[in-house]
Amino acid sequence: MSYLDSSLLHYVDDLSARLPAPGGGSAAALAAALGSALDSMVLNFTVGNEKCRAVENEAKKYLAKSEQLRKRLIELVQADVAAYGKLAGAYKMPKSTPEEQKKRAEEIQTALKASVQIPGQLIELASEVLNLSRDILPVGNPNLVSDTGVAVSLAWAGMESGLLNVEINLRSIKDAEFCSEMRNKIKPLIAEGKKIKEQVFEEVYRRIVS
């Protein structure tokens, strides 16, 4: 069963239940997807608005990008569930003989490497959402500036949560080179993402309270 075809209530009920999945990884992807959706909402209230005509072309370009990100992120909500299922299956493999133990260990490592790719992708996509939110800030309908602030908060939540899910998988992966490459890939994205989130949030807050 795909959560992409079920109700939000069903997903949240399963998330809260004593079930192996969905879990934090799936929820992290949903947070970032919601952030991207809010960017799209801001842009949809910008495109076609007479007061925003000067930025119409920019807004359309950003909207196409935001929608692309939203669709890719929402797919990760289900992809994380599927990846966990494969990992759980590997752990359930028989281990009565040395041959079975060896095969099981290999399958677990393969599944772990596949699983860690999901939060890795999430971090990359959430980084793009944060960058897009920053670009949208001077362009988007000013009446929805708070929604841009919420968008960066959600995207950052997805990114930060993605980091936790990367590390929880890496600690069980024995391939040191693989782990090093993954950390080197995401480290600069996390650092830059944090800066963008803080910059955009502060600017949004300043506009609201000034």
pLDDT in tens, 48-62: 999 999 999 999 999
What is the pLDDT, as a whole number, of residue 210?
85
User: Counting beta carbons within 10 angstroms of the beta carbon of residue 36, is it exposed (0 to 12), middle (13 to 18) or buried (19 or more)?
Assistant: buried
**CATH number of the domain enclosing 34:** 1.20.120.680
Number of domains in the chain: 1
* Confidence (pTM): 0.94
Which of 113, 37, 114 minimizes the C-alpha distance to 73? Answer: 37
What is the pLDDT, as a whole number, of residue 42?
97
CB 204 within 8 A of CB 148: yes
What is the pLDDT, as a whole number, of residue 1?
65
Range of the domain at 89: 3-209
| Below-70 pLDDT ranges, the chain | 1
Residue 159 carries which side chain, given as an amino acid letter?
M
